[in-house]
Each structure stands twice: as C-alpha cells, then as structure tokens.
Chain A
C-alpha cells in the first residue's frame, strides 16, 4: 500500500541576492549572474511528501522541468530522501509560460499515475502561484492550495488545513489530488550525509555529454551505463517521452 507522491520542483535564481551586477542595462535580469537555488516552498512540498511516505508508506518521485543544470535540485532531492527523480528537459520548452509549463508537467505527471501531487505555492522568480492550479485543472484533479497541514489520509480520502493569510479552512477531498504547500507547513530537512555520499555522483545524460565535450576521455555511452548500474543515472524526459504536443507548448507571451 502506501501513496505514490509526486513533487514538482523548480530551480530558481536567488532573487534575494540581486545586486547591480545581475541587472542588464535595459533593466532586465541576467539570470546567469545569480546563484541558482531550490525554490524554497518546493522544499516544503518535498518535506510533506517525505513525511507522508514515512507515515503511510509509498514512494516519492521528484520532477523538475528546466535546463540540464536543474539536475542539481534533483540531486538535492535525492539527498533528502526522494526515491526517484526525473529531469524534464527539452530545447523546445525554452521560455514556456505557465500554461505551457503546466501542460507539459501534467503530461509527465499523468504517466506516473500518482495519488498525491505536491508543489510549492509559488516560485520566487515569478511569484505567480499559477502552475499548481493549472496542472490540477489539466489533470482534472481537485486542487488544495495554501496547504499548511495535512490532517489525515485514510484510503483515498485526504483532509488538509489551508492557511489563507486572512483565515483558514479545513477541506476534504478524494485522491488523486494536487496540493500546493506554503512555507509555514514544516521545517524542510537538510540533506542526509549518508545519502549525500551515495548520490552526489548522480547525473543526467546531458550532464555527461557536456562533461565529455571538455574532457574527450569520457565516453558518454559507457559512463551512462555505469551510472545506471549504480542507480545514479537521472532519468531524463523530453516532450516526446511525455507525449506533449509541441504545437500547444509554443509560448506566445511577450514581456518587455
């Protein structure tokens, strides 16, 4: 038994550390000049998923959509206790807006047949808080936003407390469902030293390919095979793997 939990996480620029150097002359932000971090509230979502697994059994799979460098948040998830991780990466996803992002994520989530999908309430680079509800809508799942506490899980029924800032609400729903988790929900655990030693070498194929470009002695195929054997090859999916229709993905927003 137990619950199949999926956590959607994002690697974000650390917007707290923005300095003059990180601003381009035209007033836009030079993302590359900012340290990339695990979106804070996504760590709360991961923590909630890990607590569910510890209490009720099951497994936790973490998905991130982004550039190959986003594999770092997947390693961070492995250090904390995730059972499986997936990097959703595709050049065609560049500059996706929240509609495209939630569409692609929903395709990936649907493949995994989850009981509970968890995400952080919002990402600190966009602050939109849209991807969670939009993914829920695409999957036809109930959404419970602003979750502060998981009250109970029995069979296919979940109850949770939502903190709305101006009050709270206790709600009940049947699984599968999508939850967005807020920062006051829990204190995310730090990486375990044992797991860190075990997984620090985990890599996705694109990272191996990038390394092979600068170091010709690396053979991509055999390195990936070796990683896979040791359970260290990070699964990598693209639009075709998840069955997403590229025509629907094309971002058509313009930000000045």
Chain B
C-alpha cells in the first residue's frame, strides 16, 4: 500500500508480445490521458521487458508523457512473479495514484499478484473509468477526485461502481475493446526514464517450455454462418451458448450493441450500423430484438433464423424461420442435435 497522494501520476501497464504493444494498452493510454488531464497530473506508461526501448516511441505517440522503462534479461518473457516484482519496485518508488492494466490473460494474471504484494485494491474487468467524488454516508467523510471503477457484476446483471479511497494505488484491469483507440501523433514524444531492476533467477518461479499465440482476428465479414446473441442471452457466461452453436456449425459469433455494452462479448463482434455489416448464408439471431440499427448490418443475410420468446419481436419480421421460445431451452437443443448428427 502506498500513501494516498493526489499528485501521483496515472499509469498504464504497457503489455507487449514479441516486440509489439498489445492493443488494449494503447486503448488504455487514451482513457489514461483523459483521467490524467482531469486530475492535472502526468500520464506515464510502465514498460518492463528486455530490449523493448523502441516501444517508448509509440507509447509517446499514443499519449504517454513519460515511460518508466525497466529492462532486465530476466524480464525477457512475461511471467507473474518477476514482472510483479519489477512493477512493485516502480510503484513504491514513484507512487502513482492510478495504475491500469488490460484485462488480458497477462493483465489478469499479473495485476492481482501486484495488488496482493502491495496490499492495494484492484477492480477486475472494468468497462468504464471516471473521476468523481464519494461520500461515506455513515461518517459524512467525502473524497474528491477518486477513480470510479465501473464494471458489470453478477454475471452482467448489475453495474457496480467500485472505489478505493485508502488502499492505493487505485488499480483496475480494463476489458479489451471498450475504450476507443487513440490516433497516434507523430510529433509527440515521451520522456524515457530508465529504472534499475534488481532481479535474480530465483524470482522466476516458472519456466516457460513452449508458447503459441494465435492471431485472434474475428472475421465476421468472411463467415458463411453467423450466430449472433443479444441482451436476452443474459450474461457473458451464458454467451457460451452462442459460441457453442457457432463453433459446432463452423461459424462466427456476432452480437448486438446491447450485448457488447453489457460486456457479454468483445466489441469486434458487433453487427449493425455501428458495427460490421454482414451478409452470410445463414444468420441465427438469439435473444435479440432486431432493432433497426442491428438490422442495418444483417438484413441482407440469405437465411435468417430467429429465436426469441417475444412473438412480437421485430426480428421476426425479417426472419425466414421463427422460433418463439426461451433461448435457454432452444439453443442447447440445437447444439445437441447438431453435435449428434456430426
């Protein structure tokens, strides 16, 4: 835990793989910029690795005022224990008031380890961040300029705002794709501050034997079959139904904006006016009403199957096959039937 200090900077953990910055880290720089400007403090990126200095240029172009660069041969590959140690060293030394991480597999592995070592608060999977005040009603104590950490809770059924007024830094992981990508400004430069990191081989608690990263690009446009889910699917967890049905048909998963906003699935899956426009051979619409902005992106599909428990849902006006029923009953049956046939 560090002392509450209102002059502390806003930090973004700069995640990178094989010489490239993770997109989420770039998105976080745009949000971090906003927060830092509101608080009138600098925005810094914390960059750990080995031979990664050239990434500082991009971090600057995307909005960081400073980069704290911790390079060490033992930081060549990410692992929780060594990176946590390096990050804790930086945090203790520079006392940032906010530290943000992408809610990527790395961020979700690392941030809790840091939070535990620092005895600092951490909110997982935020979908929005704001600066605001908070009053403790029982004591009347008020806190200005806190980080409001906003996230869906209870499987997406409620939206919670979480604050941390005394266990600093205020830390959060932020879901991928929920913050806009900033435009790089070629002339912007970050001040690079080299930091010595004291690591020994005993700080590496695991050994990475092999690794394989997939290009995870959603390609809705070229998919012949799309299974799209809406708000009616109910939760990120339950979206497994959409994924499963898409997978067993060899198709892609799509979504409405409502489903994306609720955090059920990442934004690059959104179909519609402000998402991707698609015209697959088969479009299966599950638990979505068929709002005009959604139809704008999918009405040209060759065959549309809609599952909805509301017989008056507008999606039925354009569907070729209409299934009026509870998606939680219909979709598992479809998956089972298809799997049995395969």
Measured CB to CB, the residues of A under 8 A from B are: 13, 15-16, 18, 23, 27-29, 97-99, 102, 124-138, 141-146, 159, 164-173, 177, 252-256
Interfacial chain B residues near A128, Cβ < 8 Å: 112, 123-125
16 contacts between A and B (CB under 8 A): A15-B157, A16-B155, A16-B234, A16-B237, A18-B154, A98-B122, A99-B116, A99-B167, A130-B112, A141-B205, A143-B113, A146-B105, A159-B209, A168-B212, A252-B167, A253-B164
Question: A130: which B residues are within 8 A, CB to CB?
Answer: 111-112, 115, 122, 124
B121 touching A133 by the CB < 8 A rule?
no
Residue B197 interfacial (CB < 8 Å): no
- The number of inter-chain residue pairs (CB within 8 angstroms) is 144
Task: Answer yes or no: B317 CB below 8 A from chain A CBs.
Answer: no
Q: Does B294 contact A (CB under 8 A)?
A: no
Bound complex: CA A145 to CA B153 (Å): 22
- B180-211 contacts to A (CB < 8 Å): 205-211
A142 pairs with B113, CB closer than 8 A: no
Please, which residue of chain B has its CB at the minimum distance from the CB of A22? Answer: B157
Among A124, A133, A256, contact of B116 (Cβ-Cβ < 8 Å): A133
User: Closest CB of chain B to A168's CB: distance in Å?
Assistant: 6
Whether B208 and A171, one on each chain, are in contact in the complex, defined by CB atoms closer than 8 angstroms, is yes
Note all chain A residues with C-beta closer than 8 A to B116: 99, 102, 133-135, 137-138
The 5 lowest CB-CB distance pairs between A and B, nearest first, are: A15-B155, A142-B205, A167-B213, A134-B116, A128-B124
How many of chain B's residues touch chain A, expressed as a range?
Answer: 35 or more
Q: Which one, B115, B163, B164, B214, contacts A134 given CB within 8 A? A: B115
A14: nearest residue on chain B (CB-CB)?
B155
B154 touches A125 (CB 8 A): yes
- Say whether A99 contacts B121, CB under 8 Å: yes
B119 interfacial contact with A, CB 8 Å? yes
CB <8 Å contact, B213 and A173: no
Residues B112 and A172 in contact, CB atoms below 8 Å apart? no
**Nearest CB of chain B from residue A128's CB, rounded to whole Å:** 4
Contacts of A252 in B (CB 8 A): 166-167
A127 and B124 form a contact (CB under 8 A): yes
Asked if A124 meets B155 with Cβ closer than 8 Å, knowing A143-B80, A168-B212, the reply is yes
Q: What DSSP secondary structure best describes chain A's contact surface?
A: mixed
- B337 within 8 Å of A (CB atoms): no
A134, closest chain B residue (CB): B116
Residue from A138, A142, A164 in contact with B105 in the complex, judged by beta carbons closer than 8 Å: A164
B141 to chain A, nearest CB (A): 11
Q: In the complex, are the beta carbons of A255 and B161 less than 8 A apart?
A: yes
- Which A residues are CB-close (under 8 A) to B162? 253-255
Measured CB to CB, the residues of B under 8 A from A are 80-81, 84, 105, 108-109, 111-113, 115-117, 119, 121-125, 134, 136, 153-167, 205-214, 216, 234-238
* Chain A residues with CB under 8 A of B117: 137
Are A137 and B207 also in contact (CB < 8 A) when A128-B124, A145-B108, A168-B212 are? no
How far is A75 from B174 in the complex, measured between Cα atoms in Å?
A: 37
Q: B109 contacts which chain A residues (CB < 8 A)?
A: 133, 143, 145-146
Residues of B within 8 A of A29 (CB): 153-154, 157-158
Nearest-neighbour CB distance to chain A for B205, whole angstroms, equals 3
- Nearest-neighbour CB distance to chain B for A180, whole angstroms, equals 9
Main secondary structure, interface of B, reads: mixed
Contact B155 A125 (CB under 8 A): yes
Among B81, B112, B124, B160, residue most surrounded by chain A Cβ atoms (within 10 Å) = B112
- Smallest CB separation, B43 vs chain A (Å): 25
Residues of A within 8 A of B212 (CB): 167-169
Min Cβ gap A122→B in Å is: 8
Most buried by B among A16, A146, A172: A16
Chain B residues within an 8 Å CB radius of A254: 134, 136, 162-163, 165
Candidates B159, B166, B238; contact of A16 at CB < 8 Å: B238
A255 near B160 with CB under 8 A, answer: yes
Q: Which residues of B contact A165 (CB under 8 A)?
A: 105, 216
Chain A residues with CB under 8 A of B163: 253-254
A142-B205, A145-B108, A146-B109 known; 12 new pairs, CB 8 Å cut-off, are: A15-B235, A16-B155, A16-B235, A29-B153, A98-B122, A131-B112, A137-B113, A159-B209, A166-B105, A169-B212, A171-B209, A173-B207
CB distance from A137 to the nearest CB of B (A): 4
Q: State the CA gap A97–B124 with chains docked (Å).
A: 12
Are B157 and A18 in contact, with the CB atoms below 8 A? yes
Contacts of B210 in A (CB 8 A): 169-170
A169: chain B residues at CB < 8 Å are: 208, 210-212
Task: Give the CA-CA distance A177 to B235 in the complex, in Å.
Answer: 32
* Chain A residues within an 8 Å CB radius of B124: 126-130
Determine the distance from Cα of A143 to Cα of B205 in the docked complex, in whole angstroms. 8
Task: Please give, as numbers and ranges, the residues of chain B lying within 8 Å of A142 by CB-CB distance.
Answer: 81, 205-206
Partner of B157, one of A23, A97, A102, A134: A23
**A125: B residues at CB distance < 8 A:** 153-155
Residue in chain A with minimal CB distance to B78: A169
Q: How far is the CA of A134 from the CA of B111 in the complex (A)?
A: 9
Q: How far is the CA of A102 from the CA of B81 in the complex (A)?
A: 17
Q: Residue on B with the closest CB to A28? A: B158
Closest-by-CB residue of B relative to A135 is B116
Query: What CA separation (Å) do A166 and B167 show in the bound complex?
Result: 33
* Residues of chain A contacted by B209 (CB below 8 angstroms): 159, 170-172
- Find the B residue at minimum CB distance from A151: B209
CB distance from A52 to the nearest CB of B (A): 18
Closest to B163 in A: A254
User: CB distance A133 to B206 under 8 Å?
Assistant: no
